[in-house]
Amino acid sequence: MKKTTKYFLTVMSIVGMLAMGSCSNDNDPGKIEDSSGDTGKSKFVFVVFTDGSGGEAGRYIVTTEDVTTGSISTTGNGIETEAYSFIRQNNKLFGIVYAAQGPTTPFGLNAEGKLVQSGASVNTEMTGVYGTVNDNEYVGGSVNRSKESSIATLYRFDAKNPKVLGRNTVDLAKITGQEEMAVWNGITQVDNKLFAPLTYTPGVTGQTTKYVDSTWIAVFDYPSLAFKKIIRDGRTGSIGNWFGMQGVKQIEDGDTYAWSTAGGTATLKSKNPSAIIRIKKGQEEFDKSYFFNIEQATGAKIARGEHIKGSKFLMTLYATNEIGSVTGGRVKLAIVDVVAKTVQPVTGVPEHAQMSYNMKVYAEEDGKTVYYVMKEDAGEHYLYVVDVATATGKRGIKFQGIADVTSITKLKY
């Protein structure tokens, strides 16, 4: 966790710059309009950070109908935003400002397909983890990585009528039962519970964890948000990465899968292989009968993963011996079937440097097509359209005048 301070400062500097002012290219972001999503049409929605070539740098939410060709920019397109985190729920995109008691603002598409603010802004905690629940709520968790301030807050957010529905606190220094504290890397719904993948840290600046050979998930009740227990496995490493929101997913048959890089720290490498493990439906313990050793099967470690449909995931595997965490390392794409235990490399998508925090991915509901955003070695960002059945990718739109793409989703209107 020694890199987290650097990236926290980077995030906060961006937020501070954006907080100086917010404007819109073609909308008033303070004007609330209806976004019913009932015309049968949809648009892709991206959150981007401009490179300043067209003037002052800023963060924007932009839209397009076609991602297979051409280019997209912020010129005459979208809304400038102060938000750093974004979560899609109830056909809205919620922008969460990364600051103490920062506003959370819903955005949507009106009947004409125009991006609009679609509800009132609501103040929430400084949100470090978040995940959807059912079809009408999401849960966020506050940021705590220091033993001097180890109390974290979970909150429920109503995505239909934007408001905080409830809160509960947890002491991340006490739930581990060790001298080190927990740091959560995401939160995801599993049946009527919440699973939060964890890493451990001493909670002291300049010190790194000695626990690199275990997998942990914290289990919380829902809707009370009360901490229940931590479950552990010793066959691979910790799940996910700071601000990654990935590493655990329940699939349609009810089983839950977790995947780990098993990288360790700069000074202490994990002795365990990078692998995928499972929690059977209705259980709150790891299934000892299942172990998918990705490192043995491919000679590479898992970087990140996102669910497509059924038992298939789009994953990035490290292409060299260098591995990252929040960022770092070079990766290649693969379609991974966690039930069949197969790994199919995606052709047509070049090896590339891993982007910060998480994969920028959107999967169609039928599971046939996945859209993946990456930065090519020449420095330009492109979207690649991946055919899941054939594991082939094709370059789509180019992001023009854009230094980073932080989110991709699709909204109906």
Name the band, by pLDDT with cuts 50, 70 and 90, for residue 88. very high
DSSP 8-state symbol, 355: P
For residue 30, what pLDDT is reported?
A: 52
Using a 10 angstrom Cβ sphere, with 0-12 exposed, 13-18 middle and 19 or more buried, the burial of residue 369 is: middle
Name the band, by pLDDT with cuts 50, 70 and 90, for residue 144. confident
For residue 16, what pLDDT is reported?
A: 41
* pLDDT above 60 (res 303): yes
For residue 52, what pLDDT is reported?
A: 81
* pLDDT above 90 (res 78): no
The CATH fold assigned to 4-298 is Methylamine Dehydrogenase; Chain H (2.130.10)
Name the band, by pLDDT with cuts 50, 70 and 90, for residue 322. very high
For residue 51, what pLDDT is reported?
A: 87
For residue 31, what pLDDT is reported?
A: 61
Q: What percentage of the chain exceeds 70 in pLDDT?
A: 91
* pLDDT above 70 (res 396): yes
* pLDDT above 80 (res 29): no
Q: What percentage of the chain exceeds 90 in pLDDT?
A: 85
Name the band, by pLDDT with cuts 50, 70 and 90, for residue 33. low
If you average pLDDT over residues 91-117, what whole number do you get?
94
* pLDDT above 90 (res 54): no
If you average pLDDT over residues 317-344, what whole number do you get?
96
If you average pLDDT over residues 104-120, what whole number do you get?
95
Q: For residues 57 and 208, which has the higher predicted lDDT (pLDDT)?
A: 208
What the block records as the tokens of 66 is 């076609």
All residues at 6 or more sequence positions from 92 whose CB lies less than 8 Å from its CB, including other chains = 35, 106, 107, 108, 118, 119, 159, 411
* pLDDT above 50 (res 9): no
CA–CA gap between residue 109 and residue 118 (Å, rounded): 8
CA–CA gap between residue 117 and residue 112 (Å, rounded): 14
If you average pLDDT over residues 42-50, what whole number do you get?
97
Name the band, by pLDDT with cuts 50, 70 and 90, for residue 28. low
If you average pLDDT over residues 278-307, what whole number do you get?
98
* pLDDT above 50 (res 381): yes
pTM flag (> 0.75): yes
If you average pLDDT over residues 202-229, what whole number do you get?
96
Q: What is the pLDDT of residues 233-255, one digit of tens each?
A: 999 999 999 899 999 999 999 99
Ranges assigned E (strand) in 75-214: 79-80, 85-89, 92-96, 102-109, 115-117, 122-124, 127-133, 137-142, 151-158, 163-171, 181-184, 188-190, 193-201
Q: For residues 155 and 21, which has the higher predicted lDDT (pLDDT)?
A: 155
Least confident of 53-67, 187-201, 283-297: 53-67
Mean pLDDT, the chain, as a whole number?
A: 91
Name the band, by pLDDT with cuts 50, 70 and 90, for residue 56. confident
Domain coordinates of the chain in residue numbers? 4-298
Assess contact for 348 and 394: CB atoms under 8 A.
yes
For residue 13, what pLDDT is reported?
A: 41
Using a 10 angstrom Cβ sphere, with 0-12 exposed, 13-18 middle and 19 or more buried, the burial of residue 152 is: buried
For residue 27, what pLDDT is reported?
A: 47
Q: Strand pairing partners for 226? A: none
CA–CA gap between residue 363 and residue 318 (Å, rounded): 22
Using a 10 angstrom Cβ sphere, with 0-12 exposed, 13-18 middle and 19 or more buried, the burial of residue 304 is: buried
CA–CA gap between residue 24 and residue 31 (Å, rounded): 11
